[in-house]
Amino acid sequence: MTRAVTRLAPAKINLALAVAGKRDDGYHELRSVFATIDLSDRVRVASAPRLEVRIAPDVGAARGDDLASRAVRALAGATGHEPAAFVHIRKRIPVAAGLGGGSSDAAAVLRALATIWQREDVDLVALGATIGSDVPFFVTGARAAFVAGRGERIDPLPEPPDLHLVIVRSPWRLATEDVFGALNDDDRGAAGAVDALRDAFVRRGVTPQLLRDLAQNDLRGPAERLCPAIADARVRAAERGIALSLTGSGPTLFAVADDHRDALRLVRILRRIGLSAHAHTTAG
Ligand code: C5P
């Protein structure tokens, strides 16, 4: 019997994101193209007599209310197990950044614990949706997907080529709920870009230029109103010829590079204007 499982939990980028109307349940209807990137937390789950979650470095989540603890309780509730497990998370993905780190950790816990408890028959995508809107995407293990609904409708897309991205981290944190709350009707307009990008993935026609053209996000307006430093960084990068786009509800920004050399060039320019830029690829 398996007693411990270690999994990498990758971060995601929303290459394009459109928000449609507000639903009766208070959530918003989304359309987005998600891709994992080569920045991961490491999640180890082991059998234990009680629930214990250790996150290093500490991310300041209320004890027992982090998404990993919720994942253990959700799978226990669905299977009749005691909600008992030892979870250790080594964090590398910045928190509350729009990179899906906490959701990816929760998905890794669900998959690891389903293996340990030998309950791989459980619908982990549906269970993931009860924990958070980004969890179902990570549960599928897809490297890229068209995601719709609240986040629970996942159509995996053909493997993208390794796309070179520059991620611009931010010292600020934005709560997803606040960003959705600040959304106006005028902010909407990315739906066409999302659908065009999904179609490009399907016909395997994704290029860096196409990504730059279609990297639109309806949450950019509200995120920038709540955190003007995002707009400031974007304007300063644009003055140097670099288009920065928002991932998720922010505040992390990203640029699409032509190749690895180009990514390093963009990193140098962005660091010179005081931004925390790092080269990554979409290989999750
Ligand atoms: O599902 P999750 O807990 O990640 O969502 C955090 C918050 O973001 C929700 O409370 C809601 O305010 C907002 N949200 C939304 N529509 C979505 C996803 C999230 O309004 N599709």
Taking the centre of ligand 1 as the mean of its atom positions, its distance from the CA of residue 133, in whole angstroms, is 6
pLDDT at 96: 86
- The question of whether 259 is a catalytic residue gets the answer no
19 beta partners: 30
Helix 101-116 to helix 67-79 angle (10° resolution) is 30
Atom 12 of ligand 1, nearest CA residue: 177
Tens digit of each residue's pLDDT, the chain (284 residues) = 679 999 999 999 999 999 998 899 999 999 999 999 999 999 999 999 999 999 998 877 766 779 999 999 999 999 999 999 999 999 999 988 999 999 999 999 999 999 999 999 999 999 999 999 999 999 999 999 999 999 999 999 998 888 999 999 998 889 999 999 999 999 999 999 999 999 999 999 999 999 999 999 999 999 999 999 999 999 999 999 999 999 999 999 999 999 999 999 999 999 999 999 999 999 76
- Token pair, residue 202, equals 């399907």
4-156 folds as Ribosomal Protein S5; domain 2 (3.30.230)
Locate the ligand 1 atom nearest the alpha carbon of residue 132 and give its number. Answer: 1
164-281 folds as Alpha-Beta Plaits (3.30.70)
Q: Which of 27, 105, 194 to mutate to test the pocket of ligand 1 (most atoms within 8 A of CB)?
A: 27
In sequence order, what are the residues at sequence separation of 6 or more whose Cβ sits closer than 8 angstroms to the Cβ of residue 20? Answer: 28, 29, 30, 31, 188, 191
Long-range (24+ apart) CB contacts under 8 A made by 231-237 are: 233/168, 233/170, 233/275, 236/273, 236/275, 237/168, 237/269, 237/270, 237/273, 237/275
pLDDT at 62: 64
Taking the centre of ligand 1 as the mean of its atom positions, its distance from the CA of residue 176, in whole angstroms, is 6
Taking the centre of ligand 1 as the mean of its atom positions, its distance from the CA of residue 160, in whole angstroms, is 27
Give the residue among 246, 207, 240 at the shortest CA–CA distance from 226.
246
How far is it, in rounded angstroms, from Cα 203 to Cα 206? Answer: 8
What SS3 class is residue 281? strand
| Domain boundaries defined on the chain | 4-156, 164-281
How far is it, in rounded angstroms, from Cα 71 to Cα 75? Answer: 6
Give the residue among 4, 11, 3 at the shortest CA–CA distance from 107.
11
Selected catalytic residue, list 41, 66, 105, 134? 134
State the CB neighbour count (10 A cutoff) for residue 243: 14
- The question of whether 91 is a catalytic residue gets the answer no
State the CB neighbour count (10 A cutoff) for residue 84: 13
- Token pair, residue 273, equals 């204007």
